[in-house]
Chains A and B, each alone.
Chain A
Amino acid sequence: MWTLGPIGFAAPALLLALIALPILWILLRAVPPAPIRRRFPGVALLLGLTDADSQTDRTPWWLLLLRMLAVAAVIIGFAGPVLNPQTERTGTGPLLIVADGTWADARDWPARRDRIAALLSEASRMGRTAAVTTLTDIAPDGITFQAADAVATRLPNLAPAAWEPDPVALTAWADTLTGDFDTFWLSDGLARDSRDTLLTALETHGQVSVFQSPRQTFALRPARYDAGEVIVPATRTPIGGEAETTVAAIGLDPAGVERQLATAPIIFEPGNAEAEVALNLPPELRNRITRFELTGVRSAAAVSLTDDALKRREVALIAGGSDREGLELLSPLFYLQQALEPTADLIDGTIEDIIQANPDVIVLADVATLSGTEVESMLAWIDKGGMLLRFAGSRVAASDLGRATEDPLMPVRLRAGGRNVGGAMSWGEPKVLAPFAESLFFFGLLISDDVTVTAQVMA
């Protein structure tokens, strides 16, 4: 097939007939149209009548041009023009069709499957045996070539996987291949080390054609929280001009139905592989997000699950004796506030109000006595999964909380009395904190020398 730009000709030799057009031009110009002979008795009345305008014998140029164009169109038409001709693959022997079958293939998988089906039907026409495999799902005992029709019936089972091919398994698989065969490789467009080795291995068996779609593949990276905004980064390959895709934040709504909570476009600058979008969401909404998705793309890389890093827990801080004025500097909540503010949303208020807000954690700092209704509502909240964190202080030590009976809001009973270390009435120095053991969660945390323990409540 001879191609001229995007147009190919099945029978280009016929185009030589175009040379005859100028000759035809001269012929058509010279010969006037033949007259029609009619028998007509009324001719006696016509005798002596002359034509109104003496018309030239020659065919008018536009008619000539029209005829030439028609002839040219016929010649070109018979030459069999084909737009974007598919080059026919020729070849004999078995044909191995390899698809990467990774997450990057997932979006265009129907197109890949159609391509494979077309290849198989072509192979079937040419009487070649064929085998189809994806690199993420390779048979450990190599491949078997079968009739292309039989392979095509199993094509619907072919599905991409969410992971990358395993290089070790791939090398082992390539070693099992024997015999001569041609390979058609539908690449997913992602570069990986195993590609070159596999290509070399396949080329030892026969001709290898690689098909790679020029479409861009998008992938989401894990979202992160930064300065009050949720940053969702994305990446793409191949790097091209400006591109835009949409990311959707998906989570459960208050009714428990999964729905899109927010959408935002991600715009890739020309020549940039990475792009990100900042979502400014209210905490209630943000805490509900379970994953981010690229809309309209079914691929493992188009989904990014969120974790607690994105969440801002609601923590309610309650201190005993907060009604006393002038003791703000001595507030037992001071260090808690300092510690929690960067990572959590803090709630202040009375216990009844706080329980209405349904926080994740309630911190009771040195609160000894709670009213009956407060205890009841707090117990109900704990039953629903609330976490109660109690700090002891001088008031708890002075009270008889959990001494005589087991308090429902205390994990253990406390011993009467307690322990003073390094006081006027005791021996020894106030104790400092020991360094955290290596197995503990807080291992490596620097312990300030200022922190001393002078009194303890004992369980």
Chain B
Amino acid sequence: MIQPATLRADAETLAGPLPALLAEAEHLATTVLLGDHGRRRAGLGDTFWQYRPAQSHDTLRSIDWRRSARSDATFVQDKEWQIAQSVILWVDQAAAMGFASVASLPTKGTRARTLALATAIMLLRGGERVGLTGLRLPPRRGEAQLMQMAAILSQDDSTDYGAPETQGMLPHSRALFVSDFLGDMAPVEDALTRAADRGVKGALLQILDPQEEAFPFDGRTVFESMGGSLRHETLKAGDLKARYLDRLAQRKDRLAHLARMTGWQFSTHHTATPATAALLWLYGALERRT
């Protein structure tokens, strides 16, 4: 069980050195929740952006008479486009994420939660709204949201492999799925297609343990899933290595293909490598304009 305070402290430390992430707000009209940071373009907002000649669709109320009086044409005052993007996170909390091959490595779950919370902190600093999928924590702003998120993320799930929830995904928002994606692929596929249907784009981050990549086993072995629901017995584990690695590569390939089809980003992170690299990738992936 991870203590929420520790988790948050870890995430704060990780997020500290990075600049604030400003998520791109692509679709102004559909996400009506306004943020307080300018988009450097004309749009809905409170602060002045520029004057422009009035068009035929402009109402009389919008004409800036003081500016128009200085010339013959009529001008309209444009405001700077100020929006806040909603980013929803899904972090796999299933038992499979509790795996760490050696004691010196963090579990996959710890790494996933740290990364997710660090991303959340960065986004909140940038003025975005951050929430979790499902109906537990809708996107909101503020420190309190962070505390709540840390508390929810600290819970463990007893199921073997997690499946992403698609409820509560706001249309045209951004999403971040963090999991090992070793379980059934159908829910993931379903979630991604539904997200794509609603115009949600985002990033898939696969967290793997080095042992899951290397498969350094040999001899007669009974493999059990973390929850114990799945088991596979083999007499020669070494023989399975090539086929296992083949399947893993296929899984990654399928995820990458899926991401490409739905306009998402996909990457694999190993718990043996520093978390900062993954956070940088997340930063880039969520900032990306499409």
Q: Name A's B-contacting residues (CB within 8 A).
A: 32-47, 49, 51-52, 55
Contact = CB atoms under 8 A, between A and B. Distances in A.
Nearest 10 Cβ contacts at the A-B interface: A41-B96, A43-B223, A35-B220, A45-B247, A46-B232, A40-B223, A42-B212, A41-B99, A37-B222, A35-B222
A55 B97 CA distance: 34
A45 B232 CA distance: 10
Contacts of A36: 219-222
A44 B161 contact: yes
B243 interface: yes
Contacts of B180: 41
21 contacts: A33-B219, A35-B221, A37-B221, A37-B222, A39-B225, A40-B211, A40-B217, A40-B224, A41-B96, A41-B226, A42-B182, A42-B223, A42-B248, A43-B230, A44-B184, A45-B247, A46-B247, A49-B234, A51-B235, A52-B236, A52-B239
A45 B248 contact: yes
Tell me if A's interface is mostly helix, strand, loop or mixed: loop
B236 A45 contact: no
A44 B230 contact: yes
B231 interface: yes
B251 interface: yes
Interface of B: 96-97, 99, 108, 161, 180, 182-184, 209, 211-212, 215, 217, 219-226, 230-236, 239-240, 243-244, 247-248, 251
Contact of B236 (A32, A46, A55): A55
Contacts of B226: 39, 41
B20 to A, nearest CB: 35
Contacts of A52: 236, 239
A231 to B, nearest CB: 81
A51 B233 CA distance: 9
Contacts of A43: 223-225, 230-232
Given A49-B232, A51-B234, A52-B239, A42 B220 contact: no
A119 B97 CA distance: 76
A35 B96 contact: no
Contacts of B251: 45
Given A38-B222, A41-B108, 8 more contacts: A33-B219, A35-B221, A41-B161, A41-B209, A49-B234, A51-B234, A51-B235, A55-B235
Nearest to A41: B96
Contacts of A42: 182, 212, 215, 223, 244, 248
Contacts of B209: 41
A39 B224 contact: yes
A41 B182 contact: yes
Contacts of A44: 161, 182-184, 225, 230
Contacts of A40: 99, 211-212, 217, 223-225
A55 B219 CA distance: 12
Contact of A38 (B97, B224, B239): B224
Contacts of A47: 230, 232
Contacts, number: 87
Contacts of B182: 41-42, 44-45
Mostly, the B contact residues are mixed
Best-buried of B212, B215, B232, B244 by chain A (most CB within 10 Å):
B232
Contacts of B239: 51-52
A38 B225 CA distance: 8
B240 A49 contact: yes
B92 to A, nearest CB: 11
A232 B236 CA distance: 81
Contacts of B215: 42
B147 to A, nearest CB: 30
A97 B284 CA distance: 99
A32 B99 CA distance: 30
A38 B209 CA distance: 15
A49 B238 CA distance: 12
Nearest to A33: B220
Contacts of A34: 220
A45 B251 CA distance: 9
Contact of B221 (A38, A41, A49): A38
B232 A37 contact: no
Contacts of B236: 51-52, 55
B268 to A, nearest CB: 13
Contacts of B161: 41, 44
Contacts of B230: 43-44, 47
Contacts of A38: 217, 221-224
Nearest to B228: A39
Contacts of B220: 32-36
B212 A41 contact: yes
A9 to B, nearest CB: 39
A36 B219 CA distance: 8
Contacts of B212: 40-42
Contact of A41 (B184, B225, B247): B225
Nearest to A36: B221
B209 to A, nearest CB: 8
A51 B247 CA distance: 16
A23 B232 CA distance: 33
A36 B183 CA distance: 23
> Which of A32, A38, A43 has most B Cβ within 10 Å?
A43
A46 to B, nearest CB: 5
Nearest to B183: A44
For A41, A47, A49, A55, which residue has the most chain B Cβ atoms within 10 angstroms? Answer: A41
A51 B221 CA distance: 12
A37 B223 CA distance: 6
A49 B235 contact: no
A322 to B, nearest CB: 112
B181 to A, nearest CB: 10
Contacts of B231: 43
- Of B97, B223, B225, B236, most buried by chain A (CB within 10 Å of CB) is B223
A37 B236 CA distance: 13
Nearest to A42: B212
A273 B192 CA distance: 109
Given A55-B235, A55-B236, A46 B244 contact: yes
A112 to B, nearest CB: 62
B235 A46 contact: no
A419 B235 CA distance: 134
Given A35-B220, A36-B220, A55-B235, A45 B244 contact: yes
Contacts of A37: 221-222, 224
